[in-house]
Amino acid sequence: MDEQSPKVQRSYPRSITLGDHTDVNLRLMTPADSQRILTFARSLPEEDLLYLRMDITKALVVMLWGQNIKAGMTVSVLAERDRELLGYASLHHNEVTWQRHIGEIRVQVGPAYRAQGLGRALVAEIFAIARDMGLHKLVAHITPDQTGTISTVTRLGFQMEARLRDFVIDRAGRMRDLLVMTYDIKGQ
């Protein structure tokens, strides 16, 4: 049985079935999953890595992610099948800031499992966890050229809040705009 975060009221592991009838297990990430996250991240296509908020191909970054989980600042749900990591969704939240009512969502699904409902299922888990935590809003940070992601989050109910010009630098050193999109949990 997974170690439960004190903030998470849902029970894990959970099983879901994707659109292609693939059975997938969802469970909470622990710091012990660091090597699996590294392996997953390093298997992603280069174009996926361009848009990661943090470079999770680096062991130190993944170790810090694990520390944030342990500290209760992050809750991550992993999707796996036969011990293979297929994707994840994370909710990042800091209770001591003036934005303590807001959580940031980050989602990554491996290429072989896209367009089958896995990303949508992972986001639904994060929505439920955010509600359990009493959050009011979720925020997603996206670059304008991530058209598929924008389309997906818009279908899920996210709204455009801002476009910040040349706000981020990708892994290749190119300046990119950043879209800030939000989802109002309290209104749902």
146-181 residue pLDDT tens: 888 888 889 889 999 999 999 988 777 889 899 999
Residue 24: inside a domain: yes
Give the C-alpha separation, 30 to 88, whole Å.
12
pLDDT above 60: residue 3: no
Residue 65: inside a domain: yes
Could you tell me which residues are beta bridge partners of residue 175?
169
Residue 122: inside a domain: yes
* pLDDT of the residue at 1: 38
Give the C-alpha separation, 166 to 145, whole Å.
13
Residue 6: inside a domain: no
Domain of 125, in residue numbers: 14-140
pTM of the model: 0.88
Residue 165: inside a domain: no
DSSP H or E segment with residue 161: strand 159-169
Residue 178: inside a domain: no
Residue 114: inside a domain: yes
Residue 21: inside a domain: yes
Q: Are 137 and 147 in contact (CB under 8 A)?
A: no
Angle (CA) 83-85-90 rounded to 5° is 130
Q: How many domains does the chain have?
A: 1
| Mean pLDDT of the region 76-90 | 94
Chain centroid, CA 146 distance in Å: 15
36-52 residue pLDDT tens: 999 999 999 887 887 77
138-153 residue pLDDT tens: 999 998 988 888 888 8
- The CATH number of residue 75's host domain is 3.40.630.30
Determine the 3-state secondary structure of 34 from DSSP: helix
pLDDT above 50: residue 21: yes
